[in-house]
Amino acid sequence: MFEDTAFHELIHSTGHANRVGRKGVLEPSYFGSHEYSKEELVAEMGAAFLCGVTDTENRTIDNSAAYIAGWLKSLKNDRTLIVMAAAQAQHTKDYIFNRKGGEDD
């Protein structure tokens, strides 16, 4: 039942410079800042992707959707960020599974 939280934190861990590298992890930011909010959006979307791969999404989808909506509101509903976050989350999922983009799960 805690897969979503573990996956969320796993996505954060890939932001390190020796892994995928993301600005929201590499540079200092404070809670609620634009960069912090973007990183939270990437982590939650990545966690949702991993829950989908592991067939655990049905238990977590409502919480995940609410969390994502909250961070989008913090980002002033900039819908372009959802595309950016989805792309980064997909790239991170591919990194975790040691795949190049476009390979089937």
**What mean pLDDT value characterizes the chain?**
81
Segments forming the whole domain that contains residue 45:
3-96
State the helix-helix crossing angle for 3-13 and 57-74, rounded to 10 degrees: 50
pLDDT beyond 80 at 80: yes
Give per-residue pLDDT as tens, 34-71: 888 888 889 998 998 998 888 886 676 777 778 777 77
CB 94 within 8 A of CB 48: no
Query: pTM for the full model?
Result: 0.78
Residue 16 placed within a domain: yes
Residue 103 placed within a domain: no
Helix/strand/coil for 13: helix
What pLDDT is attached to residue 5? 86
Question: Which of 26-30, 43-47, 83-87 has the least mean pLDDT?
Answer: 26-30
Residue 10 placed within a domain: yes
Residue 74 placed within a domain: yes
What pLDDT is attached to residue 92? 92
Question: Higher model confidence: residue 101 or residue 18?
Answer: 18
CB 94 within 8 A of CB 22: no
Residue 21 placed within a domain: yes
